[in-house]
């Protein structure tokens, strides 16, 4: 996604936050941050597992 596309997506999201209080917006952002953090951990875990399986496979073939 290009920087311009990211900005357009952010503007779309901001429109959905209209009418919320500051604390409600902070809660949404906190939830989004936690979601991204969990997603990144999940992706890293998958990479590690995949790498371990590749290593095991290559060792088994020796």
Q: Which H helix or E strand runs over 59?
A: helix 22-60
Sketch the domain layout of the chain as residue ranges: 21-62
d(CA 57, CA 36): 31
pLDDT, tens only, 2-51: 999 988 998 888 888 899 999 999 998 899 899 888 888 888 888 888 88
- Model confidence, pTM: 0.52
What is the total residue count of the chain? 62
Residue-level pLDDT at 23: 94
Is the model more confident about 62 or about 10?
10
CA 35 to chain centre: 6
Alpha-carbon span 37 to 41, nearest angstrom: 6
Per-residue model confidence (pLDDT) at position 50: 84
pLDDT at residue 49 in the model: 83
| 17 and 28 Cβ atoms separated by less than 8 Å | yes
């Amino acid at each position: 996604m290009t920087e311009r596309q990211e900005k357009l997506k952010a503007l779309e999201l901001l429109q959905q936050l209209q009418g919320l209080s500051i604390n409600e917006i902070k809660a949404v952002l906190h939830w989004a941050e936690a979601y991204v953090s969990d997603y990144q951990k999940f992706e890293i875990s998958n990479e590690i597992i995949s790498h371990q399986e590749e290593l095991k496979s290559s060792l088994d073939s020796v």
